[in-house]
Amino acid sequence: MTSGPRVEELVPGSAGLASALRLADELGQRKYLERAYPSTDRTILLGALAGDEAVGFLLLLLQVIGREEGRPPLLVDEAPLREGYVNAFGVAEAHRRRGTGKRMQRVAISICEREGCYQMRSRSPTSAVENYALKLDMGYTVHPSSENDSYFFLKKLRSGAGGGEAP
């Protein structure tokens, strides 16, 4: 079994939530953890905890692909394709390159698979070199963003909604 911080969902009143918010503040990402996401179906904040202290966080949005951009849903077997979108992700400097980020990503992927998501997606600034290496190592594909100085990372999780092959 791999040692290191445990990964769990952080909800109001849970151990580690306050320290996850402090860490997000230190890494310049707190605004993403406090923002409302009206186009998502569910928002999940994961924390990598050493005791009650957060050493990492990952904000996962479960949503219909394209809804946020005002696109009609892609339907497979009459069900819209859904995704897990990682909107914020950070690991304390002292815990980087030790598997903490990969552990959080794996938990997020498991949640998305359980929820029937077709894909995982995230966007990272061009300065996030460590994040690129992690995502590429985990089998994500990459596409440059036309909006700003960033890249989109995508990982296909299943063939289609309802488990069948995509048309």
Domain extent listing, the chain:
6-163
* Mean predicted confidence (pLDDT) in 22-28: 95
Kindly report which listed range (38-42, 44-48, 147-151) carries the lowest average pLDDT score.
147-151
The rounded mean pLDDT for the chain is: 88
pLDDT band at residue 22, thresholds of 50, 70 and 90?
Answer: very high
Q: In this predicted model, what pLDDT tens digit does every residue of 85-107 receive, in sequence order?
A: 999 999 999 898 888 999 999 99
Decide which of 36 and 134 is more confident. Answer: 36
Beta carbons within 10 angstroms of residue 89's beta carbon: 25
Q: What is the pLDDT of residue 134?
A: 84
Class for the domain spanning 6-163: alpha beta
* Mean predicted confidence (pLDDT) in 105-111: 95
Instruction: Please give the helix or strand (H or E) that residue 106 lies within, else none.
Output: helix 100-114
pLDDT band at residue 129, thresholds of 50, 70 and 90?
Answer: low
Q: What is the pLDDT of residue 137?
A: 87
* Mean predicted confidence (pLDDT) in 67-84: 93
Whether 163 shows a pLDDT value over 50: the answer reads no
Query: What Å distances lie between residue 72 and 31, 63, 69, 108, CA to CA?
Result: 28, 13, 9, 25
Q: What is the pLDDT of residue 136?
A: 85
In terms of Cα–Cα distance, which of 61, 98, 99 is closest to 82? 61
* Mean predicted confidence (pLDDT) in 15-36: 94
